[in-house]
A = this chain, B = another copy of it.
């Protein structure tokens, strides 16, 4: 059995190991991606996803998540979900429906409760303290997993969104085409960063369209990022925090970032999960393995 797995940020390493084990033992793509995302959602030290996620301006934690099956093109999403332990499980559950598969706010929370999903007070003490102190750090690191098992591909994303976001703010993550997109016959892509600026370019769908045109996955990521940075620059819109990962139908992966460096995790049936880094020096965008030296100095998620 052949599989490939790519996920955003160093913080997804443990989740990637969980997903990797699931694939080795159960060969279940959906289960693997959900286990990967749940591991990050449940990690209190990650302040941009699930439990421990930083609250909005009003002090409450509102969560977004989405799941898409690239074979039957079903998708499910939630935004502004409250007090549910694992948003990704709700999104996956919703992806089983043809209609009403993207729910928001109270409707999403009530659906999750009625369907028996575990309720949980998602605001951790640390997150609450950070909120009290209005820590200036902008947290918007979304966890995204893209996986491929044999001919099937899927993508799963989860985030608490922009720190100090306004109540009801929706970013790119639950929005198909911007935060995520996958077609098992072509490939998949997912994004992390400032959602509003990702949405202006529908980055995930654009990368998949370029792959469909025959452009190699890493080149598709690079072209999309460079065009988007230029496009935002021309309009004086911030472009300093946008990153994407992609995986094509041949199992080749790619990444691009507008940051100096963006770590992500890759694994396949031949290779245990390892941290990779996408670099952007303003001239070129390329991917390399994370060296111990680099990891020793890296501060972010």
Contacts and interface: CB of A to CB of B under 8 A. Distances in A.
A235 B174 CA distance: 22
Interface residues on A, range: 35 or more
A224 to B, nearest CB: 11
B103 A166 contact: yes
Contacts of A269: none
A1 interface: no
A257 to B, nearest CB: 20
A252 B177 CA distance: 26
B196 A107 contact: no
Contacts of A178: 175-177
Contacts of A79: 104, 170
Contacts of A106: 105-106, 167-168
B100 A166 contact: yes
A111 interface: yes
A99 interface: yes
A119 interface: no
Contacts of A111: 166-168
A99 B194 contact: yes
Contacts of A171: 102
Contacts of A167: 103, 106-107, 110-111
A199 interface: yes
Contacts of A170: 77, 79, 102-104, 174
A271 interface: no
Interface string A96-116: 001111111111101100000
A235 B104 CA distance: 26
Interface string A223-248: 00000000110010110000000000
A274 interface: no
A73 B235 contact: yes
Interface of A: 72-73, 75, 77, 79-80, 98-108, 110-111, 162, 165-171, 174-178, 181, 194, 196, 199-200, 202, 205-206, 209, 231-232, 235, 237-238
25 contacts: A73-B200, A73-B231, A73-B232, A73-B237, A75-B199, A80-B105, A99-B162, A99-B165, A99-B196, A100-B166, A103-B167, A103-B170, A104-B104, A105-B105, A106-B106, A106-B167, A110-B167, A111-B167, A111-B168, A170-B174, A176-B178, A177-B199, A177-B205, A202-B205, A206-B209
